[in-house]
């Protein structure tokens, strides 16, 4: 028997909110009842395509609507705390885009508040629901790679620029979450450097180094100013290596056996080239379901009591704690910050 549809509101219909608008509208487990956005021209255009949705410009109208059960928040980060608190106190289940708040202490506060009001609070760390990342994590958990040596993650491209948070809180939030999930631990320390080329006080390029137990190092590079779009996750282990290229259409994940011969060979350049041997390359046949759809389905299942939130506010707080440490390291010229 089909489950009763959950009545949703969407707060924020910008760059990322438009994706949720599509997903909620097409969902068989949800009904989009209200859209809240302060851009009148945008809501006027949307009203033509969504005649059965009510449009408001104040979140208070969402909070006071007794029919609304759950809310998705896709607004600037500096609004997340106030909006999420208001909606939780109104008894609404909330899915708030990452990062959940500007500080880990604020994330902790929202976690406690959601527990007190007995509502689901999920943070939109979408890569936790990505089928490739899940497969890679399972490979690590199964010890298929052997001892992990290091991770390298690159998230580069030309914009979109943000004015509310730095590139660390915007792009690196994804990669920090991926690292913590894959390693199963918080990093022991963080070092970072970054620069503000476009807007003073907001880093648009940054490089981070996280150190995990076992001397595993994760290097993260993020930029809004790079001419080449990159979305790469590399995990190098003792026995195997994994490369996730999210830009690739047909070969997103490659698993490479570690080469057996790394001895330098005296002689010409050709001899040197053949001295380093790579192992077999395997491209798993994975079902590439849309991560945001999986995330939204998980949120709906949590509301129905079928699942426990994966990316709850406690998860969000761990990610933000690392981002805070990275920003602190940047302010202190790359000083190592211990967590």
The DSSP result for 151-219, as a single string, is EEEEEEEE----SSS-HIIIIIHHHHHHHHHHHTS--SEEEEEEE-SSBTTB-SEEEEEEEETTTEEEE
d(CA 51, CA 16): 21
Our count of domains for the chain comes to: 2
Structural domain including 227 reads 128-289+320-338
Query: Do 101 and 201 belong to one domain?
Result: no
Query: Do 97 and 151 belong to one domain?
Result: no
Query: Do 98 and 205 belong to one domain?
Result: no
- pLDDT score for 6: 97
pLDDT digits (tens, 9 = 90+) for 205-251: 999 999 999 999 999 999 999 999 999 999 999 999 999 999 998 89
The dihedral over CA atoms of 252, 255, 259, 262, expressed in degrees to the nearest 10, equals: 50
- Supply the CATH number for residue 200's domain: 3.30.360.10
> What are the C-alpha distances in Å from 197 to residues 112, 201, 225, 231?
38, 9, 9, 22
Query: Do 279 and 300 belong to one domain?
Result: no
Query: Do 256 and 280 belong to one domain?
Result: yes
Q: Is residue 279 part of a domain?
A: yes
- pLDDT score for 2: 56
Query: Do 148 and 103 belong to one domain?
Result: no
- pLDDT score for 259: 67
| Chain centre distance of CA 232 | 14
Query: Do 138 and 119 belong to one domain?
Result: no
Q: Is residue 267 part of a domain?
A: yes
- pLDDT averaged over 10-residue windows placed end to end, the chain, 339 residues: 83 93 94 95 91 95 98 97 98 98 98 98 97 97 97 96 94 98 97 97 97 97 97 97 94 87 55 58 90 97 96 98 98 97
Query: Do 95 and 79 belong to one domain?
Result: yes
Per the DSSP assignment, residues forming a β-bridge with 34 are 9, 54
Q: Is residue 120 part of a domain?
A: yes
> 222: Cβ–Cβ under 8 A, 6 or more apart, which residues?
154, 155, 156, 167, 168, 170, 171, 172, 175, 205, 206, 207, 208
Query: Do 72 and 179 belong to one domain?
Result: no
Q: Is residue 1 part of a domain?
A: no
Query: Do 160 and 266 belong to one domain?
Result: yes
Query: Do 196 and 233 belong to one domain?
Result: yes
Q: Is 129 helix (H, G, I), strand (E, B) or coil?
A: helix
Query: Do 298 and 260 belong to one domain?
Result: no
Q: What is the CA radius of gyration of the chain?
A: 22
Q: Parallel, antiparallel, or unpaired for β 6-11 and 240-245?
A: unpaired
- Supply the CATH number for residue 92's domain: 3.40.50.720
| Torsion-angle region of 333 (φ positive above 0: left; ψ -120 to 50: alpha; else: beta) | left
């Amino acid at each position: 028997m089909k489950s009763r549809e959950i009545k949703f509101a969407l707060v924020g219909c910008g760059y990322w909110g438009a994706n949720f608008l599509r997903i909620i509208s097409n969902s068989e487990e949800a009904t989009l009842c209200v859209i809240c956005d302060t851009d009148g021209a945008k809501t006027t255009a949307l009203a033509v395509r969504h005649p059965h949705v009510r449009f408001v410009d104040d979140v208070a109208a969402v909070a006071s609507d007794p029919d609304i059960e759950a809310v998705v928040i896709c607004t600037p980060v500096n609004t997340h705390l106030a909006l999420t608190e208001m909606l939780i106190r109104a008894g609404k289940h909330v899915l708030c885009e990452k990062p959940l708040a500007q500080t880990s202490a604020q994330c902790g506060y929202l976690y406690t508040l959601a527990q007190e009001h007995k509502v689901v609070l999920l943070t939109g760390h979408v890569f936790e629901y990505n089928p490739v990342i899940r497969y890679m994590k399972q490979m690590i958990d199964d010890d298929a790679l052997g001892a992990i040596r290091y991770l390298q993650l690159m998230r580069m491209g030309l914009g979109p620029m943000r004015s509310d948070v730095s590139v660390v809180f915007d792009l690196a939030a994804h990669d920090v979450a991926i690292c913590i999930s894959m390693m199963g631990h918080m990093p022991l320390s963080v070092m970072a450097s970054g620069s503000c080329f476009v807007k003073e006080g907001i880093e648009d390029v940054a490089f981070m180094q996280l150190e995990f137990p076992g001397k595993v190092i994760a290097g993260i590079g993020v930029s809004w100013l790079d001419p080449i779009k990159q979305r790469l996750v590399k995990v190098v282990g003792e026995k195997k290596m994994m490369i996730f290229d999210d830009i690739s259409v047909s070969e997103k994940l490659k698993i490479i056996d570690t080469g057996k011969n790394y001895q330098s060979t005296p002689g010409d350049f050709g001899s040197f080239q053949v001295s380093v041997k790579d192992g077999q390359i395997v491209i798993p046949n994975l079902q590439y379901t849309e991560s945001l759809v999986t995330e939204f389905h998980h949120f709906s299942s949590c509301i129905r009591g079928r699942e426990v939130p994966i990316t709850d506010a406690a998860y969000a707080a761990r990610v933000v704690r690392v981002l805070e440490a990275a920003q602190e390291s940047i302010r202190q010229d790359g000083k190592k910050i211990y967590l």
